[in-house]
Amino acid sequence: MKKFMEEFKQFIARGNVMDMAVGVIIGGAFSTITTSLINDVIMPLLGIFTGSISFSTLTLTINGAVIAYGNFIQAVLNFLVMAFVVFCMIKTLNRFHRKKEETPAEEPAPPEPSAEEKLLTEIRDLLKENK
């Protein structure tokens, strides 16, 4: 049991787990924003075109069973908006990563040859001329 707890501590202490935890928290907060966007902005606008004030009131009753398909429509729209925003965020992040990879680090210019190397080059050239 002690070894199990040590492995668990190592797992939790990894950076990726912490990043994931932050992502989940931000995702939860973002979900409430998206839900508000759907319920308070998009659905009333769609309600104008469909003649209904709210999709959540749309139901179908069959033999006493109430099917609230309006809530389902709202959930699907919520998912689509959330998926679209996540797609845009990932696309933007990928673009930044590509630009970072495409920009090659400029290679430093080769260093100037030393006085000794210049002298040896001159000697080599003179020896070639005398052959």
Q: Which helix (H) or strand (E) holds 124?
A: helix 115-130
State the residue range of the domain holding 39: 2-125
Question: Would residue 54 count as lying in a domain?
Answer: yes
Tell me how many domains the chain contains.
1
Contact 55/74 with Cβ under 8 angstroms? yes
Q: What are phi and psi of 67, to 5 degrees?
A: -105, 110
* Percent with pLDDT over 70 in the chain: 87
Q: Given pLDDT bands bounded at 50, 70 and 90, which one contains residue 94?
A: confident
Q: Does residue 130 belong to any structural domain of this protein?
A: no
Q: What is the pLDDT of residue 15?
A: 64
- The reported pTM is 0.50
Q: What is the CATH number of the domain that holds 78?
A: 1.10.1200.120
- In this structure, the number of other CB atoms found within 10 A of the CB of residue 4 comes to 8
